[in-house]
Amino acid sequence: MTVVDADALDLFIELPDGPPSPPARDTSSTSAGSKVSSRRDPRAIGRALVLAAPAVLAVLAVWFLLYGLLLSGVEQHVMQSRLYDEFRLQLAAETAPLAEPVRAGSPVAMINAPSAGIYNLIVVEGTTSRLLLSGPGHLSDTPLPGQAGTSVILGRSVTFGAPFGRITQMNVGDVITMTTGEGVFRYRVEDVRRPRSPLPPSLDGGDSRLTLVTSASGGWRSGWAPSHTVFVDALLAGKAQPVPAGVLATVSPASLPMHNDPSGTVPLIFWLEGLVLVTFAASWAWVRWGRFETWIVGAPVFLAVLWGTSDALMRFLPNLL
Partner 1 sequence: MKTTVPRRRIALARFGMALAALLVPALTVLPARAAAPSTPGCGAPPVTSTHGASFTVTETLCRTFFDKGVVDRRSFSVTVSDTTNLRNNQVISVSWSGAHPTGGIISAEQWAPAVDQEYPVVLMECRGIDSPDVPSAKRLTQETCWTATPGERIISSPSPYSMWSLDANNTADGICTQRYCNVPIPLPSNCDGEVAPGPNFWLPFDAADGTDYAVGSAGCDGAPPEMLTTGEDPTIIPSDTTYAETALNGTGSAKFTIMTSETNASLGCSQTVPCSLVIIPIEGINCNANPQVGYPSYECESLGTFPPGSLNTGSNPYPPALAVTGSYWWSGSNWDRRISIPLSFGTPANACANNTQAPLDFYGSEVMAEAAEQWDPAFCLNSKLFNVNVVQLPEPVAKSSLQQGFIEAAIQGEPPPVPVGQKSFFTTPTVQAPIAVSGFAIAYVIDNGNGAAYTQLRLDPRLLAKLMTESYPGTTSVQSNWQITGEPPGSGPNQCPANCNPAYAAMAHNPQSIFDDPEFLALNPGLRVPNGIQPGPAATLFSILSQSDVMWALTSYINADPEARAWLNGEPDPWGMVVNPAYKGIKLPVESWPLLDTTTNGPDYTESGNPFCVGALGNGKAKVPDRPLIDNPQENLAYVAYNMRYAIAVSLISCNNNPLTPEYTELGSETLGNRFLIGLVSLPDAEEFDLDTAALQTYASPERETDNGPQFAAGRTFVSPTVSSLRAAAPLMQPDSKVGSWVFPYTDFPGNAKAEGAYPGTMLFSADVPTKGLLEPDADDYGKYLSFAATTGQVQGFGVGQLPAGYVPIEGLSEEVDYTKVAAADVAAQNGQVPPLVPLAPPPTTTTTTVPSTTTTTVPSTTTTTTTTVPSTTTTTVPSTTTTTTTTVPSTTTTTVPSTTTTTTTTVPSTTTTTATTVPSTTTTTTTTVPSTTTTTTTTVPSTTTTTVAPTTTVPSTTTTTVAPTTTVAPTTTVVTTTTVAQQSTTTTTGAGSGHSGKGKNPPTGLPVAAVGTAPAGAGGLALPLALLVAVLGGVWSAVVVLRRRRART
Instruction: Identify which range of 28-36, 48-56, 73-81, 83-91 contacts partner 1 by CB under 8 A.
Output: 48-56
| C-alpha span between 161 and 184 (Å, rounded) | 25
C-alpha to C-alpha distance for 16 and 12, rounded to whole angstroms: 7
Which are the contacts of 219, defined by CB distance < 8 A and separation ≥ 6? none
Cβ 78 to partner 1 shortest distance, Å: 22
Binding-site member from 24, 44, 45, 58 for partner 1 (CB under 8 A) = 58
Nearest of 94, 166, 130, 129 to residue 258 by alpha carbon: 129
Interacting positions 290-319 with partner 1 (CB under 8 A): 316-318
Q: Work out whether 91 is an interface residue with partner 1 (CB under 8 A).
A: no
- Single-letter code of the amino acid located at 203: L
Q: Residue 1 or residue 266: which is nearer to partner 1 going by CB?
A: 1
From CA 56, how far away is CA 48, in angstroms rounded?
12
Identity of the residue numbered 264 = G
Which of 13, 46, 202, 292 is close enough to bind partner 1 by CB under 8 A?
202
Pairwise CA distance, residues 9 & 315, whole Å: 25
In angstroms, what is the minimal distance from the CB of 51 to partner 1? Answer: 4
Q: Which residue in 133, 176, 258, 312 binds partner 1 (CB under 8 A)?
A: 258
* 8 A C-beta contact, residue 69 and residue 224: yes
Residue whose C-alpha is closest to residue 56's, from 7, 22, 5: 22
| Contacts to partner 1 from residues 179-198, by CB under 8 A | 193-198
DSSP 234-257: EEESSPPBP-S----PPPPGGGST
Q: Does 137 bind partner 1 (CB under 8 A)?
A: no
**Residue 256 or 285: which CB sits closer to partner 1?**
256
| Among residues 114, 206, 238, 244, the one that binds partner 1 under rule CB under 8 A | 244
Q: Decide if residue 85 touches partner 1 (CB under 8 A).
A: no
**Does position 229 bind partner 1 by CB under 8 A?**
yes
Q: How many residues bind partner 1, per CB under 8 A?
A: 78
